[in-house]
Amino acid sequence: MNRPNPFTGSSGKKSTCLEMLHAILDGDASEEQQEYFREHMDECMPCYKSHELDIQIKQLIKSKCCGTHVPLDLVEKIRRQMNSIT
């Protein structure tokens, strides 16, 4: 991938893979950022696995919490526990 990273802030600081993932999952990313991340996931297996796990966790929690917003700390806690199992 040779195009500029649209997640780079005005200070020039590049977002981490996890920061990009959270922006995507929270619906805060632009179309350009979403496309960039999809291309990034094709090259970065840890991002792909994390993205799939986050989607599954959030969908499960939303279905059990009557569709309300899922707190990020809850997602992180579940992810840590899932990672310790696998």
For the stretch 36-45, pLDDT in tens is 888 877 777 7
Note the pLDDT tens digit of each residue in 18-34. 788 788 878 888 999 98
Q: What is the pLDDT of residue 30?
A: 92
What residues contact 61, with CB distance under 8 A and at least 6 apart? 70, 74, 75, 78
Please give the average per-residue pLDDT across 9-24, as a whole number: 80
Q: Summarize the confidence of residues 47-67 as an average pLDDT.
A: 72
pLDDT tier at 80 (50, 70, 90 boundaries)? confident
- The residue with tokens 């960039």 is 36
> Is 80 exceeded by the pLDDT of residue 7?
yes
